[in-house]
Amino acid sequence: MIELKEVSKIYQNGETKIHAVDRVSVCIPDHKFTVITGKSGSGKTTLMNLMAGLMRPDEGEILCDGKNICGYNRNQLALYRRNTVGIVFQFFRLIPVLNCSDNIWIANEFAEKADKNYFKRLVDQLGISSIMKKYPDELSGGQMQRVAIARALINRPRYLLADEPTGNLDTDTGKQVVELLRSAIDEFESSLIVVTHDPEIASGADVQIQLRDGRVIS
């Protein structure tokens, strides 16, 4: 379980302080599909980045299995991101000079052991085994998102975090990606946390967290 206790993140814009996340306390349960919703600027992505260990809060605690990740040093945070969370970014963030296979394996670069059987099972499940030698500029948006999901899952993270995973996709492809995310967490026993403004995605979640102006309203 990931638990946030009175977490705040403040950005400075000149002399103005912006409370992107304002004293948020929530629990993210294991083996569930959780969505974080809210209008643009409500703090959704900042909240996800805090849980992912990509940024530190200005106040509060973020606990994973009772351990406060806010007290981790840089190496400990790197291990947390490698072993505990997998991240699917909105704009894919694939490396253009690497083919699909290498884009997935690069997340496993510093892991102790490469599991080729798991890799095959993963790309088969996501329907991308036939494009492993292609490069990002040869792919459709849906294919790039599937490669990004595989990269996020290659280290078998306990938590898969996805930031607006359908934001750059057409409606039909977006539905397919959400179905793949759901099936992937069931198959690979991860918990899914999705940042979205799409009410259709939110309606299928087990847990909904709604933000407004950096605060949880439901």
pLDDT greater than 90 at residue 109? no
| Residue closest to 84 by CA, chosen among 124, 129, 28 | 28
Quick one: CA torsion of 34, 38, 43, 48, rounded to 10 degrees?
20
Angle at 75 between CA 74 and CA 81, to 5 degrees: 90
- At residue 14 the predicted structure's pLDDT band, cuts being 50, 70 and 90, is confident
Instruction: Please tell me the pTM assigned to this model.
Output: 0.87
| β-strand partners of 68 | 63
User: In residues, how long is the chain?
Assistant: 218
CB-CB contact of 178 with 166 (8 Å) = yes
- Tell me the per-residue pLDDT of 15-73, one tens digit each, with 9 for 90 and over: 888 899 999 999 999 989 999 999 988 999 999 999 999 999 999 999 998 999 999 99
The pLDDT assigned to 114 comes to 65
The pLDDT assigned to 53 comes to 94
- The single residue listed with the structure tokens 């992107």 is 20
- At residue 198 the predicted structure's pLDDT band, cuts being 50, 70 and 90, is confident
